[in-house]
Amino acid sequence: TGRLFEVGRDGTFSGEYHTAVSSTQKPIQPSPLTGSQHLDEDGQCTFGFTVNWKKFSDSTAVFVGQCFNGDDGKEVLHTSWLLREKVDSEPDDWKATRTGRNTFTRAG
2-105: CATH topology: Lipocalin (2.40.128)
Q: Which long-range contacts (CB under 8 A, 24 or more apart) does 66-72 make?
A: 67/37, 67/43, 68/44, 69/42, 69/43, 69/44
Judge whether 25 and 15 are in contact, CB under 8 Å: no
Write the DSSP symbol of residue 28. P
In tens digits, the chain (108 residues) has pLDDT values of: 566 677 899 999 999 887 766 565 667 778 889 999 998 888 889 999 999 887 767 889 999 999 998 788 888 999 999 999 999 999 999 999 999 999 988 776
The domain ranges of the chain are: 2-105
What pLDDT sits at residue 85?
92
Backbone angles phi, psi at 92, to 5 degrees: -90, 0
This prediction's pTM: 0.83
Distance (Å, whole) CA 22 – CA 2: 16
What pLDDT sits at residue 107?
74
